Chain A
Amino acid sequence: MRENTLPHHLIQILLSGLLLLAVVGCSANHIRPSDGGEPAQRPVSEYVKEGTEYWVDEYDPWEGFNRPMYLFNAKFDEYVFIPVVKGYRFIFPGFLRKGISNIFSNFGELENFVNSVLQLKPVAAGKTLGRFGVNSTVGVAGFFDVATDWGIYEQDEDFGQTLGRYGVGPGPYLVLPIAGPSTLRDATGSAVDLVTYNAIVEQIGAVETWREDPAREYGTTAAKAISRRDEIEFRYYQTGSPFEYELVRKLYLAKRKLDVTK
């Protein structure tokens, strides 16, 4: 195993990020009535019941880290990610972008398969295997998602969901650099998925020559990120809501809960 492959880098970044979390003060700056002197017409002290759980409340002890990271991601999106995606859209026609995305998804079937097996879901594992077989052959190395047309749909599974299925709760909400909303469980899951993927691919040895050149690997990772961003409609701060951070958090956690129970 080489030492400087990108996945290792990613894990390093992730770990140093978590370390950073431990170092920086993690509670967010909650604006308090006393900060402004005169209390508001409808003061929090009177209108918010202490000890009551509100819909908007979620377990977010790292909010002080997450909010600046959310803002950073928005700026990164605005100045780097979205301009690159626009260039990508300008250069590649729609069907080609769809094909590229399909190829990445086809590689992702490995992750779906491993986690379906780990969760003891034989039907999902079978479908995933079938999809990989059909799309890799009839679908020309995954460029066309023929399986979906045949009614064999993607079984989206990852290690975060596997952990969830065996009773591991989401843990603290966590906004990852660039990747965005996650939780301690799901971020750990992504890291495990990455390590597993590389271990299996190296075991097979099929792409060893391709991975000789780190530039290729960085390129592939970047291309995948661009392709994925291209498919997500979400744009930061476009909801207009002053509570977008809270809404995104709520929806992400609700969606993951559904994914785990599925």
Chain B
Amino acid sequence: MFRKPAFWCAVALLAYLGTSGVAMGYEFPIDDPYASTIIGTPSAYKADLSGKVPIKEHWLLVFPDRKVPDYLWYARKAGYLTAFQSHKAPLIFAIAGTGGSHKTSKLVNLVRTFYKAGFHVITVASPTFPNFVVSASTSSIPGHPVEDAQDLYRVMKMIWEKYREKVEVSEFYLTGYSLGGMNSAFVSKLDEDEKAFNFKKVLMINPPVSLFTSVNLLDGMLEPVLTRPGGFGAFFDTMMERLGKYYKDHDKVTFNEDFLYSVYTERDPPDEDMGILIGVSFRISSVNMVISSDLMTNRGFIIPKNSEVHATDSLTEYSKVAGGTTFTNYFDEYVLPYFKEKRPEVTREDLLYELSLKSIEPYLATSKKISMFTNADDLILGPGDVDFLVKTFGQRALIYPLGGHCGNMDHKDVVAHMVSVFKGQEVEK
């Protein structure tokens, strides 16, 4: 299955990087990063995450005096998951990726992984998750890693306050995937001064290097569909038609990784189509975030200022405007003016720099407690990003050759690696 150019690019890249941070003996069956990002890990390669885990869901009122528009009535509280051991153990906080809730399947799998390995686990949503925007973000304008870290840190402290008498914790660890990986680094840096947790270990999973680069890559994937006749509506109908044919030919269809993998191997869909699916999923997250934010701030970006929006009103027309809004639009027309009001001297370039790991490079380079792993074919990394990660983290970086963006998080080798990072065992390379 080595027919994809992406695979050879990965090989070339790995040859260039040398073997220091490269996972050896690792096998992943999908060599197309678009496919692995969508499909995930086929069951034959998955870690066994079954078994009883006492996962509980809770809700936290972060700002008791906050006024929330009637339309967003359901988002007044921030959700989180807990899974506690009955004995003393380290506690791991896990942060979701872009648009992810506190109980997205990737987080639930992390909870299962770490609980089974003997840790307490608490999950929190991404600051870009609408519910977090409404209930837990100070400005309700997500995207700036330093401000997001402050919001996350506040929530984590409030959660821990509820359990400090009940749960025995030896030390605190921190992790997150995708944007949550980037968030972890900034939360860890904040914790260096406040030391509410004094994190001993931090693991960044598939983080972006520059948020702006990553979201532009994702926005770019959606672009081809806009020039096709019928736009996204026609694309969706075609996809459903194909699914319908598959549905008709097969007596029983269970919608899981193995189903998607079989569709992929049978049909070999073009990267452009798979890219559109990834781009759409990102755009939907982005629409949710932008509209929730706009309703909260009353800045009149897409929803007119001072609109009284009741729970049963229709905002469908505004979803269409948001659907055509790229991250660059959001940044230039909404985020930038907000920061200009706060810090008149700030330039666009300053902010773009602040939205990247490069702004805390010295901290990352010297903090031995932080490690990271990603994939050489991760779709959200731009040119030179893997290089930057390897240079910055050195021995604390592990690069898997394949897996796309977070497509291998359930892979047995990857799960074993995550556990070994927190167990403090020698990291296998």
Q: Name A's B-contacting residues (CB within 8 A).
A: 28-31, 33, 35-44, 47-48, 53-57, 63, 67-68, 70-71, 74, 153, 236-238, 240-243, 246, 254, 257-258, 261-262
* B313 close to A30 (CB less than 8 A): yes
* A33 close to B295 (CB less than 8 A): no
Q: Which residues of A lie under 8 Å from residue B314 when comparing CB positions?
A: 28-31, 63, 67
Given A257-B244, A258-B247, A262-B244, the answer on whether A40 and B316 have CB atoms closer than 8 Å is no
* B320 close to A56 (CB less than 8 A): yes
* B305 close to A40 (CB less than 8 A): yes
Q: How many residues of B are counted as interface, with CB atoms below 8 angstroms from the partner's CB atoms? A: 55
- Bound CA–CA A254/B325 (angstroms): 25
* B321 close to A47 (CB less than 8 A): yes
Q: Residue among B243, B247, B315 with the most chain A CB within 10 A? A: B315
- Bound CA–CA A31/B306 (angstroms): 11
* B302 close to A67 (CB less than 8 A): no
- Bound CA–CA A122/B168 (angstroms): 63
Residue of A nearest to B235 (CB): A55
Given A37-B305, A53-B233, A257-B240, the answer on whether A243 and B315 have CB atoms closer than 8 Å is yes
* B304 close to A242 (CB less than 8 A): no
- Bound CA–CA A42/B303 (angstroms): 8
Residue in A30, A40, A56 whose CB lies within 8 Å of B302: A40
Q: How far is the CB of A36 from chain B (nearest CB, A)?
A: 3
How many cross-chain pairs have Cβ atoms below 8 Å apart between A and B?
A: 137
- Bound CA–CA A139/B313 (angstroms): 49
Q: Which residues of A lie under 8 Å from residue B74 when comparing CB positions?
A: 74, 236-237
Selecting from B38-46, B284-292, B391-399, the interface stretch reads B284-292
Q: Which residues of A lie under 8 Å from residue B248 when comparing CB positions?
A: 261-262
Given A35-B307, A47-B320, the answer on whether A40 and B301 have CB atoms closer than 8 Å is yes
- Bound CA–CA A106/B134 (angstroms): 45
7 closest pairs, A vs B, by CB? A36-B304, A237-B74, A36-B307, A28-B314, A67-B312, A240-B130, A47-B321
Q: How far is the CB of B98 from chain A (nearest CB, A)?
A: 12
* A56 close to B319 (CB less than 8 A): yes
* A55 close to B292 (CB less than 8 A): no
Q: Tell yes or no: B327 within 8 A of A by CB.
A: no
Q: Tell yes or no: B224 within 8 A of A by CB.
A: no
* A42 close to B301 (CB less than 8 A): yes
- Bound CA–CA A237/B101 (angstroms): 12
Q: Which residues of A lie under 8 Å from residue B334 when comparing CB positions?
A: 41
If over half of B's interface residues share one DSSP class (helix, strand or loop), that class is named, otherwise mixed; here it is helix
If over half of A's interface residues share one DSSP class (helix, strand or loop), that class is named, otherwise mixed; here it is loop
Q: How far is the CB of B241 from chain A (nearest CB, A)?
A: 8
- Bound CA–CA A37/B303 (angstroms): 11
Q: How far is the CB of A170 from chain B (nearest CB, A)?
A: 14
Q: Residue among B305, B318, B324 with the most chain A CB within 10 A? A: B318
Residue in A44, A55, A240 whose CB lies within 8 Å of B75: A240
* A71 close to B316 (CB less than 8 A): no
- Bound CA–CA A258/B311 (angstroms): 31
Q: Which residues of B lie under 8 Å from residue A35 when comparing CB positions?
A: 304, 307-308
* A41 close to B302 (CB less than 8 A): yes
Q: Tell yes or no: B27 within 8 A of A by CB.
A: no
* B301 close to A31 (CB less than 8 A): no
Q: How far is the CB of A169 from chain B (nearest CB, A)?
A: 15
Q: Which residues of B lie under 8 Å from residue A261 when comparing CB positions?
A: 244, 247-248
Q: Tell yes or no: B363 within 8 A of A by CB.
A: no
Q: Which residues of A lie under 8 Å from residue B315 when comparing CB positions?
A: 31, 242-243
* B232 close to A55 (CB less than 8 A): yes
Residue in B130, B320, B333 whose CB lies within 8 Å of A44: B320
Q: Which residues of A lie under 8 Å from residue B400 when comparing CB positions?
A: none
Q: Tell yes or no: B317 within 8 A of A by CB.
A: yes
Residue of B nearest to A30 (CB): B314
Q: Tell yes or no: B184 within 8 A of A by CB.
A: no
Q: Which residues of B lie under 8 Å from residue A262 when comparing CB positions?
A: 244, 247-248
- Bound CA–CA A211/B22 (angstroms): 69
Residue of B nearest to A124 (CB): B251
- Bound CA–CA A24/B315 (angstroms): 20
Residue of B nearest to A44 (CB): B317
Q: How far is the CB of A145 from chain B (nearest CB, A)?
A: 12
Interface positions, chain B 14-69, Cβ under 8 Å from A, are: none
* B316 close to A37 (CB less than 8 A): no
Given A30-B313, A30-B316, the answer on whether A240 and B101 have CB atoms closer than 8 Å is yes
Given A30-B313, A38-B304, the answer on whether A240 and B131 have CB atoms closer than 8 Å is yes
- Bound CA–CA A42/B302 (angstroms): 5
* A258 close to B240 (CB less than 8 A): yes
